[in-house]
């Protein structure tokens, strides 16, 4: 394969900006990938801006001839005697800064003013397609062009007639490209250049409006046309502003597409808020269902951990006791802080599932530290012990909580099952049972399990599970059992079920015995190579987390199994779970 050809701007950027490790970039920056690639690679991006600028050029003569102003700052002002002017933004309107955004994506670097200043200092931005011809047409038509930009003059730089560094760099860049009036400092109005010139461009448009009639505005952000408060109202569907914008767009206002950034994203907040703002389709039955399970290893808030740590018990507390163990023979319960929750939340955002069965989670409050906007947290089991079972369901998916399966807590010290129905009362209905079975009996026959051992306890749980499965099969329901089985079902599948359902010899064979009809299950992990959660994962090479689906549910489509792994450096820095999400997609 030939080596990729890098643009001069990309080479200069790589050599001028600080080096960053090429570990997988944070999710926040990867989210920009498609936007940046569209700007750089899609012919539609170039054609869209060419179309807009050609339309704007065609409207110039009419805009100059039409009485009044395009600027809201001049709506009630007599402008008849003023010469015409066109006000344009610079970044992503006149100049293409996508190489800088590409650097952020590729190196996982957060936006940084110092790095941005280095990019501006390179003077290597190219013209947005159509921008140069438009600017020249403005100049030829006899209107004066003003470049109003939020490139910033820093404090202490504005002395005498000498432009600040950002202004000098911008003028030089645009002069090199051939933009009109690029050698005129008065044509460039930068943020911070005068007292009061902040992000809001209103005061700079007012300065232009004092001496010129603004006949046209061009930008990539509504704040290039109106004040921030007005832009916020427009985002909120203010009818009067929407009417004004619709009247001016394509006549005297021209918006250049910029999917990479903008003030419109501010109201969405964090990446969680952005995902929560998605207007997602509810797909018809049979098109797709994605199930996941994740044992989150003692997930609780920091405050809860600290409170329970002060009164911890010598052994594992029973179900009715609100406590955590602190015995020397078991690993300490992890104490997580904000950075750990944030890292886990990055994982949760990447789970491609409609519903996630959760284990070892201290109820909805604890789950909300990781499953943030865009999730419904529900149907958690009621035990006082902080190791609960429950669900995270994507917002917009209807569900109903069913009574928990308390019989799985066979001795007052094991865990109940969480029972939920997705899309209740519809043809799409799916019944799910989340489990966290007794630990310590990972393989081997249950037939000879001595009393009071983990295998003996697991043997008592299996008939409870089988009764739940048999009931769903008798109802002809689509269903699945998912969670931490604490059992390597791939090995278990080779053992006989046993002749007595009350005393099974194996787990999977007992559950999937075809009695009644429909009580046949498919293992998500069947035939799948085991994938470790991270390079730090020291578990044996066989999964104990699994998703068992009924034949009726599996019949909806193709089954695709995966595990969502953690990268080693991130797992080393933060207190992750000792399990990672397992996902089964049916489509």
My answer on whether 233 and 309 are in the same domain is no
Assess if residue 270 is contained within a domain: no
Domain boundary among 210, 233, 257: 257
Assess if residue 263 is contained within a domain: no
Domain boundary among 257, 280, 300: 257
Assess if residue 264 is contained within a domain: no
Assess if residue 459 is contained within a domain: yes
> Measured between alpha carbons, how far is 215 from 227 in angstroms, rounded to an integer?
18
My answer on whether 509 and 554 are in the same domain is yes
My answer on whether 366 and 240 are in the same domain is no
Domain count within the chain: 2
Q: Which CATH number fits the domain that encloses residue 56?
A: 3.40.50.1000
* The pair of three-digit structure tokens given for residue 2, joined into one six-digit string: 């030939």
Assess if residue 269 is contained within a domain: no
My answer on whether 73 and 197 are in the same domain is yes
User: Taking Cα atoms as reference points, which of 527, 532, 530 lies closest to residue 542?
Assistant: 530
My answer on whether 382 and 509 are in the same domain is yes
User: Taking Cα atoms as reference points, which of 290, 443, 283 lies closest to residue 357?
Assistant: 290
My answer on whether 44 and 135 are in the same domain is yes
Assess if residue 52 is contained within a domain: yes
Confidence at residue 259, expressed as pLDDT on a 0 to 100 scale: 94
My answer on whether 212 and 351 are in the same domain is no
Confidence at residue 21, expressed as pLDDT on a 0 to 100 scale: 34
Confidence at residue 66, expressed as pLDDT on a 0 to 100 scale: 93
My answer on whether 392 and 296 are in the same domain is yes
User: Taking Cα atoms as reference points, which of 505, 506, 504, 550 lies closest to residue 524?
Assistant: 550
Read off the DSSP letter of residue 178: T
Q: Which CATH number fits the domain that encloses residue 298?
A: 3.60.10.10
Mean pLDDT in consecutive groups of 10 residues from the start of the chain, 587 residues = 37 44 46 91 96 98 94 92 97 97 85 92 97 98 97 80 92 98 96 93 96 97 93 80 92 96 82 70 66 98 96 94 91 94 92 96 97 95 98 95 97 97 94 97 91 94 97 96 96 86 93 93 93 85 93 93 88 92 94
My answer on whether 313 and 219 are in the same domain is no
My answer on whether 253 and 296 are in the same domain is no
Query: What is the span of the domain harbouring residue 243?
Result: 8-16+28-257
Confidence at residue 12, expressed as pLDDT on a 0 to 100 scale: 47
My answer on whether 500 and 578 are in the same domain is yes
Assess if residue 48 is contained within a domain: yes
Confidence at residue 146, expressed as pLDDT on a 0 to 100 scale: 98
Confidence at residue 157, expressed as pLDDT on a 0 to 100 scale: 79
> Measured between alpha carbons, how far is 465 from 394 in angstroms, rounded to an integer?
26
Assess if residue 279 is contained within a domain: no
Confidence at residue 569, expressed as pLDDT on a 0 to 100 scale: 83
User: According to the 3-state scheme, what is the secondary structure of 509-556?
Assistant: HHHCCCCCCCCCEEECCCCCCCCCCCCCCCCCCCCCEEEEEEHHHHCC
Domain boundary among 257, 283, 304: 257
My answer on whether 48 and 124 are in the same domain is yes
Confidence at residue 15, expressed as pLDDT on a 0 to 100 scale: 41
């Amino acid at each position: 394969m030939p080596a990729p050809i890098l643009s001069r701007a990309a080479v200069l950027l790589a050599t001028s900006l600080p080096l960053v490790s090429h570990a997988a970039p944070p999710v926040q920056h990867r989210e920009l990938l498609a936007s940046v690639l569209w700007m750089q690679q899609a012919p539609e991006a170039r054609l869209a801006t060419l179309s807009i600028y050609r339309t704007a050029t065609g409207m110039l003569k009419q805009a100059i001839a039409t009485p009044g102003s395009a600027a809201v700052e001049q709506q009630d002002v007599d402008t008849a005697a003023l010469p015409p002017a066109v006000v344009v933004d610079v970044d992503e309107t006149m100049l293409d800064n996508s190489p800088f955004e590409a650097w952020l994506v590729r190196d996982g670097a957060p936006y940084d003013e110092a790095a941005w200043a280095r990019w501006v200092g390179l003077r290597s931005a190219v013209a947005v397609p159509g921008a140069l011809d438009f600017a020249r047409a403005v100049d030829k038509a006899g209107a004066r062009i003003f470049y109003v930009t939020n490139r910033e003059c820093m404090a202490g730089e504005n002395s005498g007639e000498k432009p600040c560094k950002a202004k000098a760099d911008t003028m030089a860049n645009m002069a090199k490209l051939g933009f009109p009036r690029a050698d005129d400092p008065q044509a460039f109005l930068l943020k911070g250049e005068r007292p009061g010139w902040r992000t809001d461009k209103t005061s700079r448009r007012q300065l232009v409006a004092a001496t010129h009639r603004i006949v046209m505005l061009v930008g990539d952000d509504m704040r290039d046309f109106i004040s921030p408060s007005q832009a916020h109202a427009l985002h909120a569907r203010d009818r009067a502003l929407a009417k004004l914008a619709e009247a001016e767009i394509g006549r005297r206002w021209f918006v250049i597409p910029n999917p990479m950034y903008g003030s419109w994203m501010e109201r969405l907040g964090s990446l969680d808020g952005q995902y929560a703002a998605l207007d997602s389709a509810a797909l018809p039955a049979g098109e797709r269902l994605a199930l996941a399970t994740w044992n989150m290893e003692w997930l609780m808030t920091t405050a809860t951990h600290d409170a329970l740590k002060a009164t911890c018990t010598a052994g594992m507390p029973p179900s009715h006791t609100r406590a955590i163990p602190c015995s020397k023979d078991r690993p300490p319960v992890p104490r997580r802080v904000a950075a750990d929750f944030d890292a886990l939340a990055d994982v949760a955002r990447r789970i491609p599932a409609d519903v996630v069965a959760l284990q070892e989670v201290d109820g909805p409050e604890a789950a909300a530290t990781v499953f943030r906007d865009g999730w419904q947290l529900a149907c958690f089991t009621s035990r006082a012990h902080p190791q609960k079972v429950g669900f995270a369901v994507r917002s917009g998916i209807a569900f109903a909580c069913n009574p928990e399966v308390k019989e799985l807590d066979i001795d007052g010290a094991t865990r109940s099952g969480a029972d939920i129905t997705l899309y209740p009362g519809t043809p799409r209905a799916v019944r799910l049972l989340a489990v966290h079975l007794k630990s310590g009996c990972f393989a081997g026959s249950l037939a000879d399990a001595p009393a009071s051992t983990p295998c003996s306890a697991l043997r008592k749980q299996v008939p409870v599970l089988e009764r739940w499965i048999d009931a769903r099969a008798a109802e002809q329901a689509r269903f699945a059992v998912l969670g931490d089985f604490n059992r390597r079902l791939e090995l278990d599948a080779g053992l006989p079920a046993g002749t007595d359902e009350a005393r099974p010899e194996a787990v999977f064979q007992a559950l999937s015995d075809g009695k009644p009809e429909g009580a046949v299950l498919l293992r998500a992990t069947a035939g799948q190579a085991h994938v470790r959660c991270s390079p730090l994962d020291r578990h044996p090479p066989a999964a104990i987390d699994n998703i068992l689906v009924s034949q009726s549910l599996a019949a909806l489509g193709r089954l695709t199994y995966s595990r969502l792994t953690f990268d080693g450096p991130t797992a080393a820095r933060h207190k992750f779970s000792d399990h990672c999400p397992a996902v089964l997609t049916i489509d």
